[in-house]
Structures are given as C-alpha cells and as structure tokens.
Structure 1
Amino acid sequence: MKKSVLLIITFLLVGITACNNDDNDVDNSNAAAFVNTATNVIDAETEVKVVFSKPTLSAGTVTLNVVPTALVYGTDYTTTPAVENAKLVLSYAANVSSVSFKFKKIIDAIEGEVKNVKFTIASVSDQDVKVTAATGSSQLNFNETAVATKTLASENGGNTVPNQVFIDLSSGAMTKVLKTSWDLGFYGGNEFRVISNGAINKFAVKQLNTTNIDEVQVEDPNVTTGNYEASNIGFIDSPYGNLTATDKLKGTAIAEVSANNAENKVYLVNMGQEISAVPATGTGVALTGASRGWKKIRILRDGNNYKLQYADLNATTHSEVTIAKDAAYNFSFFSLNTKSVVKVEPTKDKWDLNITTFTGETLYNDGSSAGSYYFPDYAITNTKNGTKAFQVLTSEIAYENFTLANATQDKFNTDLAKDQRVIGGNWRATYPLSFKTDRFYVIKDANGNVYKLKFTSMLSAAGERGNVSFQYALLK
C-alpha cells in the first residue's frame, strides 16, 4: 500500500508587487501549508510536514486540529509530539522553512474499512503567516484505495536484466531487487519447503546420497540448466509454481524438510552465473555472466523454523544459521554469498506480478519435455497468495470493451488461471521482437480486486530490451 493521493504543494511567494499612482506596495507575509494533503499510511512511522513559503522571522508554534475517523489515539496510532485535547502543537525556531511531526501507526490497515486522521492548521502564532483552506489540511488514510488506472514501466535495468520487479496493482507500487541478491527462499506457510533462485541463469540444485554436510564434494558439470537436456528439469523448482508434487507436476527441487533429520540429504548447488558485465547491442539481451561458484547445503527443522547448513565443496566443516518462518511473507530469503538473510519480496499481500528473468520448461512438439530454459521479460503472478489470471484475445472482445461482467468466476477457477506462468512470456514475440497487441490479461488479486492489463512495450525509447511497460485498469 503506497501513497494513493500525493499532492506536492508548490509555493508561490506571497509577496506580490502591485502598482499604484505613488509607489509599489509589497506584501511581505508568509504562508504555511501541508506538503501532502492526503497520504495512505504504509510505514510504521510517517513524517508529516508543514512548510513555510519563506523562512520564519521568529520562533513560534503551529496548532493543528486533529479529527480521527474510526481510530483511537494511543490504541490505533500515536504522534510525536503528543495530541492533547484533540490538538497538536508544533514548535518551530526562527529562520526555518518547515516544521513536522511523527505519525506512528499501531494497527495495520484493512482494505475496505474507512479509517483516517485529519490534521488541519487551526492557527499559527505568527499572525503574518497565512493559511489557505486548500492546503491547510492533511488526511492520513489507514485504508488502501485500489488504483483505478495506471501505466507502469518495470525497472528491470536494461538488457542485462539485473533486477526482479514486484508490482502491487492495488497501490501501483513497484519494488526492484537485484536478482543475484538471494539464493534460497524458505517458505513461511505450514509446510517446510525451500525454493531455489530460478531468476539466475544456470542456477541448479541436485540432491546427493548423503546426510554428511562435512563430506567433501566436487563440481558436477551435469548439474546445470538451460541446455535442452530433459533430465535437468529435476534441478529446478516447478515452473507452475506449486511447492508440493502432484500426479502431473513436480514440486521443489529441494525435498520437503523432514522432522526426521536422517531423511534430510545434502544438496549440491550450482549458484549459476553473475549478471552479464557486457550489455547487449541493439535489441539484444545479455544473460550470460561469470560463474557464481558452488556450495553444498543441508536443511533441517529447528522447531517451527529452519536450520540451514552450508559450506564450500571442499570444506570439512560447515556454517549454520537458523531462519525463522514469517507468515507475512511467502518466503524468507538467504544469500549464500553474503551469508545473511535478505529482503526480497514485499509482504505476500503487497504484490501481484513479478517481472523477472525465469527458468521454465520448454516442450517438444509431441508435448515431451525439452528441459529447462531461461527466459527474459517474464511475468509471473503471485499464485502462492491467491493471485489468479487469464488471457483474453482481442478477437473475442476488445480491451476497451471488457468489463467486470466479462470476468466470470469460472475463468479464475481453471488450472491455467492458477499457473504462475499464465502471463509468462505469452505477451511478447521474439521473432520479430515485439509485444503482442492481440491479447490482454485479467488479474484477480487476493483481496478480490479485478484488473484488466495490457502490455504496451518491451523496449525503451532507445530500443533497449529489458524495459517492459504496461497499463491496467480496475474493473468495477
């Protein structure tokens, strides 16, 4: 949830020169206003600022009236300085251009509820400071209002595609993360599942027939991906996005972590390739980089958490770290290079799409597996938190004519709608390189908001790959 209404106030100095018959009269008065007249509160602490059109001549105070809606001071929110008798007094010094207070959120926002606090400038001790009604109030909203329409350009970083970009459609927020910043993801749900980083080229994981992490291992050139060998599909997680294997689908490359330590094997990890150091030319894409090396790992349970053991292949001792489950996220992520837990995805209810590089599966014409394949410009949906989608061809109905009535529930109940690859790379063509104008997508997030979305570019204005743009609209 990000700022849905952000009005940045540009001040015009109040000193206006007016001519009369004898001389020029100059109005030297000051003015005060809120920087933001409305804000969706997303952080635990938010700074709220009142600015002056010019530096203050002397010290003084700004008094704010405080009117909460469905919120209780001290229970749902607090401020620094404190609110007393429904008023907040801000002290400022001479020769300053602003004064501010800290707004601290205690409860989380629940979409659909109307919860806000309105602050209005009631008075300024300096009588020469003026306040206008249009900019004299600021409302802090606890509820998120879904974005109605928006156009976004995914910040993947150009044709070396260094970034994964997570997108929250309801707020329009984008979170970019360096794709090589993590290696393993530890599931925050009930199961004990661990994913590997398919956004890295050649990243592969193979189970070994040992439970001794301190046993010396060697590199295995066959443990790789993207070489059109059907066997290497076992070295990646299910491209569908499911964690548990079914009759038709594989699960994660790393087996479920057992409560019985004797069942938890050691894994050989090919950490894949670094981001390319040399950009591509023209409309090409550069996906091959230097080797990131190899590791061996073993994962155990530690109560309701995970215990990760890891080491270099030739090591006879290992490092160990406990990684806590966090139900607010799909996964907690760990970097084997930095030996630390790292933040990657936003909380699981704050993203719907991930524009990324992706290790998926290619098929022969007869439907048999041709093994894993590495894709740029790939869009996956957050199916693990319930985001679903389906494709619509413009030969059936135009994007402009598609309404909520056309998005019937049965279209979200298919296996394809629950496949994280339903958008995937289907939105663009490689030969010739272009985005497809004959289709768009309908997406339903975990809160029930339904959007239609169409891609508008896969190149920058300069013709560089790795610059995905799209527009979408909330269906009501």
Structure 2
Amino acid sequence: MRNYFLLQLLFAGLLITGCSSDDDGPGTGPEIPTVESATIDVESGGSNQPNQVYIDLGTSDTKVVRRDAWELGFYSGSENRVFLNASILATAAELSEFTDIDAVNSNTVFETPLQLKYLDIQTFQSVDITVNNVEELKTGLPLGYGMYGDADNGISFSDSVEGGLGGTAISGISTTDTDNKVYIVSAGSAIPTEAADPGSINTAGEHRGFYKIRILTDGNEYTLQYAELDADDHQEVKISKDDAYNIRAFSLVNGEIVDVEPEKEKWDINFTSVYSYYGDFSGTTAGVTFSDYAVHNTLGNVGLYTVFIYETEGESTVETGAPSFDAFSRSDVEETEFVYDDKTVIGSDWRQTGGFGGEESQVKDDRYYIVKDADGNYFKLQFTAFLNEAGERGYPQFKYELLE
C-alpha cells in the first residue's frame, strides 16, 4: 500500500512538472537573446553578390540562400499577396483582359492597347508608348532604366521600394476566381560567374526568360498556374500558408517550392545583396538596381532607424549631438523613430562607392542603426567593412551589441 501511495505522488509530480513545462515553453514569453555582441562577416559571395543572407541578431545565426533560387513569394498572413524577388530584378505585368492562362502567348493581341511610358536614356525624358500585344510588352518588362510603366497612374511592374503589402505588382489574390487575371513574369537576370575587377561588381547576367502565371486562393491556400510564356498548357501547384513564415517561396524556373526565408521570428536583417524597383531616379521614373543592399524584417514586426553622428555641408562636417556608437545606450533609444513600414532604411546608404569626384569605396562613418526585434529586444548596429583585403566588393561586415 505504501508503494502504491508513493507511485501516486510520483505520478502527480510528473503531471505538475509537465504542466509547468508547457506553460513556460516556447512562445509564452519574449525570446531572450543568447548573443550580446558579435561581428558578422556577411557571406554575400563576392563581386557577383550571389547570396541573400538572413541574420538573427539575438543568436547571430545566419542563413545563406542563392538569390536566384526563387521568383515568387506567397504571403502567409491574413492578406492574399504575392511578392516578387527584387534581388534578381523580377517583374510582373497583369493582362486585365485574360483569365485563361493557356490562351496567352507572345502573339497575344490586346483588344485595348496599353498606354505606358518609358525613360529615353538619350534625352532623359519620359516618352509615351502604345503597347499592342504581349511581344511588345516583353520589350519593356525586364527591369532597367528604359522599362515601361506609368507612375502617375499607378502602373508599376515591380513591387514598391518599401516592400509593403499594398505595393505588390501582383494585385491581391481574390477568393472569386474570375477576378484573378493572367500575369506575364520576367524572371529577372541570371547571376554571372565571371568575377568583376577589384572595386567593381558584376551582378546582372543574361535574362532568365518570360513566364505566364495565374493565381487563385481559398484564403488559406494558393493555387499557382504557371508555364513558360509560349507553352501550350500549364502546370499547377498548391501552396499552403504557414503562419510561422512571412512568405513561402516558389521557383518558376525549377517548378518547385523553395526553402528561402527563416521563420519570421528568427531573422531581423536580410543582406539581400541586390535590390531593384521601379521608382524615382534623379527626378524622373525608371527601373533602378542597387548592390550591397540590406533590408530589415518589417513583415515580421522588426523596427529600425538611423542615428547620424554628423552631417556634411559642403566640405565641412557638423556634429548632430547624437552619441557615438560606443556611447549609445538603452536610455538613448527613441521609440517614435523606429520604422516598421519601409524595409529599405539601411539600403545601400551605409557605403559609398569610388569613382565619383575622387572618392574612395568605403563604409560611411557618419551613421549607425538601432534595431528593435519582434521580441522587444534592442540592438545597435554599425557597418565596419565594405571590401576584402584585395579591394574586392561583396564582403560586407558589421558589428552589433544588445542594449540592456
């Protein structure tokens, strides 16, 4: 009898311990950073900058993915949105007259021609153009200075620079099938294999081809219809939302779902290497591409802002009164400064490239960044290198510290 009573006590203890473990398990409280400071050598991959690198500041874990591994990113949140891979210059144009993907090819003629604009590089003026068919549209769909669009009327074949849900080139996917149109997708540029000269880059190779897609949804699952532009029939794949991730990625070129982003709570900074969009370019509108580019995880509720130590006025500098990177502490954080709706706050502004007025390629020392992760932890971050010892680009480095 005594042994039976002891077994009952032991069993009860196990139950209590089990309940306590469940209550205190993952997801019930803020994630405590395991790394208080670190220096990260970003594996961008050299002058071709072939990699996207996702970085979790709380653990200093990194995930490296080739940037040509995917073209489409299917959003897992409550809205039905599909992102384009800006790092390979992917673009997409809606064909508002078509819902049958198999009826579209290079020879497809529009009943109502598209009225668009492009930038004439010779005159640097915006020029009107009438696009009568898909073959003509193909000329101005790849991202570049002379690509087609019409910013005044909200026509853009790239996602917005800020990376928000409302700025996708592909419209929100409707649960009413007939509302979802066929799109022509430019799969962007291949990653070159020939290294650039020291100090230069070589990031955009041959065009990767055109595809046609149509996307349907029931709200929790996307149905992607896709094919090469001139194929007679199409493939179809189901892509389920997964709340642990911002997006689920798909490769049109390889016809498969791809593991790209880490879980949305496990990365803060993405050194995407290359970034492109249709937008402002020296006072006009064009497709522009940047290298050495970093974004932060706005879809995962990461905030970030810039602290400027000094400002340049002509040939002189003026101190801003902000503390140095080393002196900045938790009490200096300005909550109202955090940016959650524009992932490009860092961008490529952390470095300057040589060749302009005799300037050297180097990291800018007038700024650093404050990051607030999804768990409410604060970090200060400063870039420390731009080139490797041989003077080659594509070898960024930054340091960061937890603010307590």
TM-score, normalised via structure 2 length:
0.79
Task: Name the SS of the counterpart of 1:322 in structure 2.
Answer: strand
Of the structure 1 ranges 286-295 and 188-197, higher mean CA displacement relative to structure 2 is found in 286-295
Question: Counterpart of 1:352 in structure 2: which amino acid?
Answer: D
Which letter maps to 1:400? Answer: D
Query: Is 1:429 matched up with 2:346?
Result: no
Contact conserved, 1:151 with 1:469, CA < 8 A, in 2?
yes
The residue identity in structure 1 corresponding to 2:249 is: F
| 2:290 maps to 1:402 | no
Name the % identity: 38
Are the counterparts in 1 of residues 158 and 278 from structure 2 also a CA contact under 8 Å? no
Residue 315 of structure 1 and its aligned partner are, at CA, apart by 1.9
1:339 aligned partner: 255
| Residue 109 (structure 1) aligned with residue 26 (structure 2) | yes
User: Which has the larger Rg?
Assistant: 1
Deviations 1:208-231 (A, max 9, x none): 131110013115111121215572
The residue that corresponds to 1:373 in the other structure is 288
**Deviations for 1:409-440, whole angstroms, at most 9, x for unmatched residues?**
1222xxx5531011111111123321101110
Supply the distance in 2 between the matched residues of 1:108 and 1:164 (Cα, whole angstroms).
31
Name the residue aligned to 2:277.
360
Q: Aligned partners of 2:88, 2:64: CA distance in 1, in Å?
A: 15
Q: Which runs of 5+ in 1 are unaligned?
A: 1-69, 78-105, 114-142, 245-250
* Inter-partner Cα distance in structure 1 for 2:173 and 2:86: 20
The alignment partner of 2:331 has SS state of helix
**Match of residue 73 from structure 2:** 185
- Aligned counterparts of 2:24 and 2:252: Cα–Cα separation in 1: 35
Distance in 2 (CA, whole Å) between partners of 1:109 and 1:418 is 27
Any idea what the Cα deviations from partners look like across 1:230-277, whole Å, max 9, x if unmatched?
727711111112111xxxxxx100000011111100000111111012
Aligned residues: 340
Residue 389 of structure 2 aligns with an amino acid whose one-letter code is A
Amino acid at match of 1:227: Y
Who is 1:418 aligned against?
Answer: 341
Q: Post-superposition shift, 1:168?
A: 0.4
What corresponds to 2:305 in structure 1?
A: 390
| 1:159-194 Cα deviation digits (max 9, x unpaired) | 101100000001101100010111101000001000
2:225–2:235: 8 Å Cα contact kept in structure 1? yes
Most deviating of 183-192 and 386-395: 386-395
Distance 1:372 1:109 in 2: 43
Return the alpha-carbon distance in structure 2 between the equivalents of residues 230 and 267 of structure 1: 15
Mapped partners of 2:66, 2:24: distance in 1: 31
From 270, 293, 311, the equivalent of 2:227 is: 311
Q: 2:105 aligns to what?
A: 217
Q: Is the 8 A contact 2:164 2:341 kept in 1?
A: no
Distance 1:310 1:462, change over 3 A: same
- Distance (whole Å) between structure 1 residues aligned to residue 70 and residue 225 of structure 2: 16
Q: Is there any run of 5+ residues in structure 2 with no aligned partner, and where?
A: 1-14, 107-134, 311-321
Task: State whether residues 183 and 214 of structure 2, in contact with CA within 8 Å, keep that contact through their aligned partners in structure 1.
Answer: yes
Of the three residues 386, 391, 395, the one matched with 1:458 is 386
Tell me how far apart the structure 2 counterparts of residues 149 and 212 of structure 1 sit (CA, whole Å): 54
Q: Tell me the secondary structure at the aligned position of residue 341 of structure 2.
A: coil
In terms of fraction of residues, the more helix-rich structure is: 2
* Structure 1 vs Structure 2 CA RMSD: 2.5
1:236 to 150, 153, 158: 158
TM-score, structure 1 as length reference = 0.67
- Determine if the alignment matches structure 1 residue 167 to structure 2 residue 55: yes
Residue aligning to 2:111:
none
Displacement of 1:110: 4.0
**C-alpha distance in structure 2 between counterparts of 1:216 and 1:240, whole Å:** 31
Aligned residue identity for 1:360: Y
Report the equivalent of 2:373. 445
Contact 1:228 1:373 in 2 (8 A): no
State the 1:372 CA deviation: 2.3
User: What is aligned with 1:55?
Assistant: none
Question: Residue 475 of structure 1 corresponds to which residue in structure 2?
Answer: 403
3-state SS of the aligned residue for 1:262? helix
